[in-house]
Every structure is written in C-alpha cells, then in structure tokens.
Structure 1
C-alpha cells in the first residue's frame, strides 16, 4: 500500500531515520493493531502508534473516563469525563492523525468474543493490566497464531514482553503462560500509580513495535523487560517456549470466563 504525497510529507522525518525509509513507513500503513485498554498504559501506546502511521488501530475498552485517572491518560480532557474511553480516544487520535483509521470497540474482551475480535489484526497489544484478560487474549492468540504484547505498571516498576511472535525459524516464541512465573515475581500491588511510569512503559512498547515492524533483529520477540524507574535499572529475560504448555493451550482453546477468573460486565449501552 503506497504512501500518498501528503503522507510522505507528513512522515518525512521518520522516513529519514537510517534503516527506516519509505518502504518501512508503508509497512506501518499496512499494519493493523488491536489495542485492548485505553488507560494509563493504553493511552501512550495508542498515541504513538497512531502518530507513527499505523494504518488501522482497533481500540477495545468498555470503560468511561474518570477525573482521578487523567494524570496518566493524556489523550482525554476534562470535558470528556464520563464519556466512553474508546470513542473519545478514537476522536482525539483522529484529530492528531487523520491518516490512521481508529476503530472504537465498546466491549469487554472475553472468551465469547475474543476469537472473532482478533480477526484481521496483525498484532495485539493488551494494555488492560488485568491478569484474566491477559490469559484470555494469550490463549486466543496462540490458537490463531497472532503475535501478542502485554505489560503492566506497578508504582515505580514496570514490565512488558512479546509473546507468540515469529521466531525467524518458522515457529513461534514463548506464550504468555510460559512466562507466568517470571511475570508474577514483578507484580507489586501496593497502592498508587504514576503517570510518568505509565508513559515510559507505553513508549517503550511502541518503540519495540516499531523495531519489530521494521525488521530489526532481536527486540521483543521472546523477551521480557523489567524496568525499575526509581533506580534507573532494566533487566532483560529471554523466555523459552514451554512446548507442553503451548500444545495444551492449542488443544483446549478458550476456557470459560469462570476458569479465567474473569468477571463479566454488562454490555455497553451506547
């Protein structure tokens, strides 16, 4: 899908970066990414995916905008309070970049709809910061062969990783379930959240997505990153696929909401 003259003019600075060029920018335009969650992590992810020129972005969120969350959700404004996050995010993002298509999906991701929801997307970024949702999306991505990125922010620390991604040998990297033990060690449920740590983590995810789409070796595929933003330290883990876990996921497919520990919310009334 070729860039128009106006798009080439808009993206002239990214195109000028060594290793990028018009060809990579055209890859961005052809890419379809589903982002689940428009909270503190989803907002910076959505903003910079859109500004980078990703062609189609699905925005799945059933929640509404609350004032107490605005410190870490810079897409939204005071006049947006109590409005649907997905719809307002789509509107704000279009105002910044009308060349990208932004589709609001006012729904809860759950076993009943996730398989259909993934259809047509090249990559899923789960910004829900919700373990049952991570597992639902992971299982659907393993069954359908869709690359999956997720992460969480806890106070001063955060983590994110790339799962079920092409390994360059015709196979796939580890699933999220393969990394569960490592991830659990990084969770910190003390109260409070900082906007800056959410922003840093979201931008880190988008930077890795850009590298992945540009064909830069290494990066997110099969790796998990842990950041301590208070002490400016980072740890990188290589996640080894557990074939038994992956085969079991493929065989069982989607479980019930109860098995995931997922509380089903009423459908959104628009």
Structure 2
C-alpha cells in the first residue's frame, strides 16, 4: 500500500534503516495482525506493532484495567481503571499513530467465535498467557493455515516462538502443541510479576514479527526462544513437527470449551 506524504514523514527514521526503505514500510502498512490479550504481554506488543506502522491491528480482550496491573501495562493511565482494555488500547495507540487502523473487540476468544475472529488477518499473536487459549488459537490457526506467535512470562523466566509458519520448502513449522514439552520448562508459577520482563519479551516478539511481515529470512519460524532474565541467558530451541500431533490436530479440528479447559465468561454488554 502506497504511503502518503504524511506517513513518509512520520516513518522517515525507520525508512532510513538499511534494508527497510519505503518498500518494506509499505509492506508493514499492508499487514493485518490480530492480537489476543491486551494485558502485560499484549501492551508492549500492541504499542510497538502500532508505532512501527502495521496497517491494521485487531485487539481482542474482554477484560478491564486494574490498578494492580498498571506496572506491566503502561499503555494505560490511572483514569482508565475499570474501563475495557481493548477500547482504551485502541484509543491510546491511535494517539501515537493515527495512520494504523486499530479495531477493539470486546470478546473472549472461544470455540464459538474463534473462526469469526481470524478472517482477514495475516498473523495471530496470542498474548493471553493462558494455556487453554493457546491451544484453541493453535488449533484454529492450523485449520485455517495461519501463522501463530505466542509466549509467556513467568517472573524471571519467559519464552516465545512462532508456530505454523511457512517454511522455504513450502511446508509449515511446528505447531504449538508440538512445542509444549519445551514450554513447560519455562513455567514458574511463584507469586508476582515484573513489568520489565513483560515489556522486553513483548518487544522481542515484535522485532521478530516485523521481520516476518517484511519477508526477512529466518526469524521465528521453527524456533522457540527461552529467556532467563535473572541470569541474562537465552536458549534457542529448534522445533520439529510432531507428525502424530499434527495429524490429530487436523483431524480433531476445533474442540469444545470443556475439552480445552476454557471457562467461558459472559459476553460484554457495551
């Protein structure tokens, strides 16, 4: 999509980066990304996707802003408490970059609506940090052949990866279900959550997503990055497709909420 003169001025610094140029910025402008979850991980992902000039961003979150979460959700302000995250995120993002179209969706991702949320998007980023939601979105993305990025932050530990992403040989990278044994190594359910670890993980996800959207080779496809921020360690895991898991996922399709262990919340009345 051709950039306007105002957009060329707004994005002149990223355009000046070697290898980017107007052409790559226009690719970002033509991209459509769905982000599920506008909380601790979703906030930095949304902020930098939008600020980078991704053309259309869907924001799916049914929750409201709470005071105790503000330390890891800096997109919001104190006067936003008890307001819906998706709506306030769209408003705050537009205030920084009015050239991106931000679409708030006050919905829970669930089996009954997931296939209504996906059409028209090029990529899904699941920032829910919620296993049942990861599984639901994974299965829907496998069914609809969509690339899927997700991750989690647990205190000092974090992980993120790219799943069902196209590979040079025409196949797709491993699904999230294929990688669960690795993701479990990074789970740490001790109390507490740090804002900075959420922020840096979200920004690293965005860097890789931008590279994918601009067709930069390599990146997240078939990779899972494990982070130990306390000891400043990064481990890169090469993912392989588990043929049995993939075949079962394709055959089963989208399961029921009970199968996923997903608690369904009432639809938001807005």
With the length of structure 2 as denominator, give the TM-score of the two structures.
0.99
1:180 is matched with 180
Question: Is residue 2:44 matched to residue 1:55?
Answer: no
State how many pairs are aligned. 270
Q: Deviations over 1:86-125 (max 9, x none)?
A: 0000000011100000000000000111011101000000
The CA deviation string for residues 116-164 of structure 1, in whole angstroms up to 9 with x for no partner, is 1101000000000000000000000000000000000000111000000
Partner of 1:18, secondary structure, is: coil
> What's the counterpart of residue 137 of structure 1?
137
The CA deviation at 1:168 is: 1.4
Distance 1:69 1:126 in 2: 18
Higher alpha-carbon deviation: 246-255 or 133-142: 246-255
Secondary structure of 1:40 counterpart: coil
- Aligned runs of 1:44-83 on 2, under 5 Å? 44-83=44-83
Q: What's the offset of the Cα at 1:244? A: 1.8
CA distance in 2, matches of 1:174, 1:130: 19
Q: Runs in 1 of length 4+ with deviation above 3 angstroms? A: none
In the TM superposition, 1:212-251 aligns within 5 A as 212-251=212-251
Please list every run of 5 or more consecutive structure 2 residues that lacks an aligned counterpart in the other structure.
none
SS at match of 1:212: helix
Q: CA deviation at 1:246?
A: 1.2
1:212-260 superposed Cα distances (whole Å, 9 cap, x missing partner): 1222221100100011111111000010011221121111110000000
Alignment partners' CA distance in 1, 2:110 and 2:26: 33
- Alpha-carbon distance in 1 for matches of 2:244, 2:26: 38
RMSD: 0.6
1:85 Cα deviation (Å)? Answer: 0.4
1:59 shift after superposition: 0.1
Helix, strand or coil at the partner of 1:200: helix
- SS at 2:103 equivalent: strand
- Write the distance in 2 (CA, Å) between the matches of 1:227 and 1:124: 22
Shift of 1:171: 1.2
1:157 maps to what in 2?
A: 157
Which residue number corresponds to residue 264 of structure 2? 264
Deviation for aligned residue 1:211: 1.3
- Return 5+ residue gaps in structure 1 as ranges: none
